[in-house]
Amino acid sequence: MARQYPLGHVRNIGIMAHIDAGKTTCTERILFLTGKSHKLGEVHDGTAVMDWMPQEQERGITITSAATTCDWNGRRINIIDTPGHVDFTAEVERSLRVLDGAIALFCAVGGVEPQSETVWRQAEKYGVPRIAFINKLDRAGADFSAVVGQIRNKLGANAAPVMLPIGAEKDFRGLIDLVAQRAVYFGEDDRSGTSREEPIPAALEAEASRWRHFLIEKAAETDARLLEQFCGDKDISPAELKAALRAATHARRICPVLCGSAFANKGIRQLLDAVVDYLPSPVDLPPITGASPQGEPLERRPDDDEPLAALTFKVMADKHVGKLVFTRVYSGTLRTGAYVLNATKGKRQRVGRLMRMHANRRELVDALPAGEIGAVIGLADTVTGDSICCQEHPIILEAIKFPTPVLGIAVRAPANGDGDKLGEALRRLAEEDPTFTVTADAETEETIIAGMGELHLEVIVDRLRREFGVQVAAGAPQVAYRETLANTVRIDEKHRKQTGGRGQYAHIVMTLEPLDAGRGFEFVNAIRNGAVPREYIPAIEKGVVEAMRKGVWAGFPVVDIRVTVTDGSHHEVDSSELAFRICASSAFKKACLQDTPELLEPVMKLDVTAPEEHAGAIAGNICLRRGRIASMQRRSGHVAIAAFCPLANMFGYATDLRNMTQGRGNFTLHFEGYEAVPFTLAEEIIAARKEAAARPAGRRRRQGART
């Protein structure tokens, strides 16, 4: 299939923001203006095209990232609408990994909110150029200048307005285009997106001139030629200013700022123009880098004739077509029926069908050329983060890293014969979502599902019932604790076993020492005299890792330790990899029992916004939940409280906050890190775990199934 648009005319962008900032509404207006949709979809009444899941329509929030494609001024724009809720931040993570640019949305009233900071950091991590859009300028309390200041101060961005609002709140009626030096006025209340251009009103000329001078100054700091013109008081044309802003945006040295009201369809045309003018195409960015299977660095240019290099960033189970693998093609062309190599797994696979996605609707295509985003059917063994390439020129691209789940619940299928059905459904959901895990607890005989928060798991259980027809029973939430060492421990362990034939012998001397939080696991081979042959060292490490999966005190994974093997011995006949693996596992467990148990618990960052008169009650409730308040800021009749709270004490907080504030308080909760549990509380948790493990299996299953 011939390329429809030149590669330089392709834009791969995402829309990211805090929850309720207007991402999906903005996307709906873009689809309407570009002719992709013929009516305005609304989030509040469940008619938004991009929020197609029943769970999204009922809750009025985006849960899964949705992809679509539209055309504007001779450009192809591939859009991914991302969730704003912190429980689904992994959707933002994997989207930003494959995008070339992004629109950062900010509410003109709320400004830079907690999740705004999170997604901004994610975009920084992947080096994604951004433009900003200050939304909801027609709302009471809207303050354009204040939000621009917050973007600079809180996010550290070099924010440079290219548009100014004309009027505010209910008087918001137009924009001043600082680049073209024109005023843009919108139609009255028809939401059609129509506008007219006029000269800048005399009353606003001084302010417009001051802001344009500021904009040129910011652009000149990044462009030597423009700086020379600026210092020489020479006129700078709109084309020259636009070119400088484009280059600076690509280099992430400037963030152009626009404004409007997505709901009223004001400023969306200008936003689309800015996407074309300022955000990069694939050819504007450096080649993608990766490595050969042997570890040698490689790169691929964005070109249809280059060897194929693509990254899978999302997997979705579709009841009509089966498994959909969302893929970004960086170089070469992905074709229907072609055989490709999954370089991550080293497996050869055949491409069944290729599709462009429009939310949950599909358009069949023959090929996906370089720079395009689409979905593949037929890649059965491919998961999120796998690299797809041609067999002759293998390349492994950098994978996507996701946060670890922090909250779990026990689930079971009460109906006879539904156990296999539940298992298959959970497998498919885990394949879709890298932040969702499924484990079997051998002691309690329960299936434990884990995710990023209460809402995340609530949606999973709802999908099990609706999509897969499993009337699953869910237990109470379970916190994902971790175990670690408090002190350095030395252990000298021998493993002997003689059964009449060849026996087993292994001897290991090793030291266990705690590491700083977040360091993970380190294994050090410090044997210098050859007492333990080299071929047995990997078996020792494997035995330790196996033992770490289930701690000796409460059965939680062990983290943040260094294991150093210092000495040992072996037998010429009886020693084996199995013997050393068993010995290492036993040594690790015995060493842990020599130390004082230390439990780690997930700590969440809590951000609350509520009317000022409720600040005292909210602060008191946080303290009751073992939380510590980090900051309390007052702004326009509201208070913004930031705190750190143990996850174990945050269940039911939504209800408590609603009651304390008469429904006027909002909060976000996201994972911050692990901290030590107070000793007395740790003892209670360990005792409860041991008591649960000692109960009869039938009783454990009944308790785990309570809803």
Q: Where are the alpha helices (DSSP H) in 440-483?
A: 454-466
Handedness of CA 655, 657, 660, 665 (dihedral sign): negative
What is the per-residue pLDDT for 415?
65
Report the DSSP beta bridge partners of residue 184. 175, 197
What is the per-residue pLDDT for 492?
93
pTM above 0.85, yes or no: no
Rounded-to-integer distance, Cα 541 and Cα 510, Å = 11
Beta strands 489-497 and 598-611: pairing type? unpaired
DSSP 549: T
- pLDDT class for 46, splitting at 50, 70, 90? very low
Structure-block tokens of residue 35: 């002719």
Residue listed under structure tokens 């911050």: 672
Q: What is the pLDDT of residues 414-472, one digit of tens each?
A: 766 667 788 888 888 888 888 888 887 655 567 888 887 777 888 888 888 888 888 88
Q: Where are the alpha helices (DSSP H) in 553-614?
A: 577-593
What is the per-residue pLDDT for 501?
67
Q: What is the pLDDT of residues 282-329, one digit of tens each?
A: 999 999 999 998 889 999 999 999 999 999 888 877 766 778 888 999
707 CB neighbour count, 10 Å cutoff: 9
Structure-block tokens of residue 296: 């040698």
What is the per-residue pLDDT for 44?
45
What is the per-residue pLDDT for 669?
75
Percentages helix, strand, coil for the chain (3-state, rounded to 5) are 30, 30, 35
Residue listed under structure tokens 């304390």: 660
Rounded-to-integer distance, Cα 385 and Cα 496, Å = 43
Q: What percent of the chain has pLDDT over 90?
A: 38
Rounded-to-integer distance, Cα 701 and Cα 375, Å = 40
pLDDT of 221 higher than 60: yes
Structure-block tokens of residue 470: 């499993």
- pLDDT class for 547, splitting at 50, 70, 90? very high
CA atoms within 13 A on the CB side of 515: 16
Average of per-residue pLDDT across 641-667: 82
Helix (H, G, I), strand (E, B) or coil at 44: coil
Structure-block tokens of residue 623: 């303290």
- Asked if 137 and 92 touch (Cβ cutoff 8 Å), the reply is no
Structure-block tokens of residue 67: 């992809």
Rounded-to-integer distance, Cα 47 and Cα 57, Å = 8
Handedness of CA 187, 159, 644, 630 (dihedral sign): negative
- pLDDT class for 479, splitting at 50, 70, 90? confident
Helix (H, G, I), strand (E, B) or coil at 226: helix
Average of per-residue pLDDT across 399-417: 75
pLDDT of 645 higher than 80: yes
